[in-house]
Amino acid sequence: MVNIHVPGSKSITNRALVCAFLSKTPLKLKNILASDDTFYMQEGLKKLKPLFSRTHDKSDTQPLQIFCGNSGTTVRFLSAVAALQSHPVIITGNARMQKRPIEDLVFALRQLGADVYTQRKNGCPPIFIRGPLRGGICTVNGKKSSQFLSALLLAAPYAQHDVTIKVQGKLLSKPYIDMTLRVMQSFGVSVQHKNHRTFIVKKKVYGGRAAPYIIEGDASSATYFWALSALTGTPVHIPNIPRNSIQGDAQFKKLIRTMGVGVPLKPLGAVDMSDMPDAALTGAILCAFSDGVSTLTGLENLALKECDRLTAMTNEFSKIGAEVTQLKDGWKIRGQPQKLHASARAIDTYDDHRIAMCFGVVQKLIPSLKIENKGCVKKTYPHFFKDLKKIPAPRNIIITGMRGSGKSTLGKALAKRLKRRFYDVDRLIEAREGKRVARIVQEKGWNYFRECEQKVTHSLECLTNAVISTGGGTFIDKENAAILKKHGIIILLTDTISNLEKRIQQSHHRPALTSQKSVHAELQEIWQARKKKYYTVADVVIKRTMLTRDIATIIRKLKEYAL
């Protein structure tokens, strides 16, 4: 079991910071996320604080400038907070933030009496804001970002009169609205709503807490470790996310249970991910490692995030060989893990922390994958890649040995005992070519067969939690050996030449490997040629006895490798 303490939730931290700022009594917060996003929120609130003071110099009419980087949450929440007072404020961000729409929030704040407009008249920051927020009725589009509604809800108790907010269109990311309401309630403000369509906020103040408010661990950040647990079979525990979490992304853990454990996973099928858009990116990664088609929809607002995540993920998936079709509101993903690989092109993170962390998960299974600008994770999870190292590399169990050593028989029985998937390299070659190994060798020769063997071995590179039986000569090839050893514990089965000969004589589909006339002589020659290579790659050597006894011995030995 690996314990991971993820950082505090960004979403809860920023909501709690706003409530604490507006409260007239000091409120203590614990487990505040320390990251770029929360830094911008705290700095912005610090700049706004003098404007809420009774001693503020009202003769100063110069607008207060607040820079928020690419923190959409900060821009939206601070815009609503700034509208509660009468001094002019200009809120802006970096180049990407200045392309992210905010017109729906601007329109709603105007309806509530504030003087608000986007300075470039393009519906994006910089935003000019001057209150007060008088109250009354406003409408907000629920389809673009739930943060517009959350911003209005957080500020509404401090308007001059009660506020009624009506939602137009489908409300995306509803769990984030429920989170806002739960945080507000924790600070003494309850909001009435009618099926999340109309919200009534009475004039009130935040406060009423003696105990510190404890911020949960970030469920969006936890999705990467839950995903790795599913991919590798490594149990992961995240103690700072409670079972009754107020975060929508905490439900991701339940969703992926249907996919099983180990690559290939079971596909998700068709799923509306509109309630957990951040977790949807992690879900897309898992679907690429599944065996089948998954369609993730309800994600049109991903195009308006730190980058256009719909397009970005589609572009980067192509670099690892994933078959992904971009839809207007999501992706159709045909999972084919055997085709996934690292290419010469590095993964572009688009300065987006979620893209970087998603492909950090992929890199765990494809270590040669290169990721540019990993440092962008500081936006929400500065030590993500350090924590990622705590998850052990996925390990398969690879059975090798001479022909006739019982690799397939023992491998199947071991896989059944350990509840792992079983793969047989020779059977995969036969399925690929549509004919028996003996026929392949007879028609096209051993060199062609070894080429097929190498291709099949490459296709196993991303498998995890599996038992793989190789051909007797698979490890002759250095590339094959490197691929299988990278993610596997190699178990060498040995036996006497006489026992090998007895088993082989029971099979009529084994092609000759040498020019020797007798099976016994051929086995002697092959053993002498391969013995050194077998022992070089082997982690565990098992001398064959009885099947059940051999399996018990292997399981005991595997415990030394934490398998």
Question: Active-site residues: which are they?
Answer: 278
Rounded to 5 degrees, φ, ψ at 166 are -110, 130
One DSSP character per residue, 112-162 reads TT-EEEETTSSSSSSEEEE-----EEEEEETTT-HHHHHHHHHHGGGSSS-
397 SS3 class? strand
Q: Please answer whether residues 270 and 297 qualify as being in contact, where contact means their C-beta atoms are separated by less than 8 angstroms.
A: yes
DSSP output for 365-394:
HSTT--BS-GGGGGGT-TTHHHHHTTSPPP
Amino acid at 248: G
The residue whose two tokens read 């009529």 is 508
DSSP assignments along 47-110, one per residue = HHGGGGSTT--TT--SPEEEE-TT-HHHHHHHHHHHTTSSS-EEEE--TTGGGS--HHHHHHHH
State residue 128 phi and psi, 5-degree precision.
-95, 130
- Terminal Cα distance for the chain, rounded: 12
Q: Where are the alpha helices (DSSP H) in 251-352?
A: 252-256, 277-288, 309-318
Please tell me what DSSP assigns to residue 322. -
Distance CA 125, CA 74 (A): 12
Closest CA to 220 of 29, 379, 75: 379
Q: How many CB atoms lie within 10 A of CB 65?
A: 11
SS3 473: coil
User: Collapsing DSSP states into helix, strand and coil, what is residue 219?
Assistant: helix
Say whether the peptide bond before residue 132 is cis (omega within 30 degrees of 0): yes
Measure Cα distances from 550 to 16, 405, 488, 537, 543 in Å: 58, 12, 19, 20, 8
Question: For helices 10-22 and 146-155, what crossing angle results, to 10°?
Answer: 20
DSSP assignment, residue 306?
Answer: S
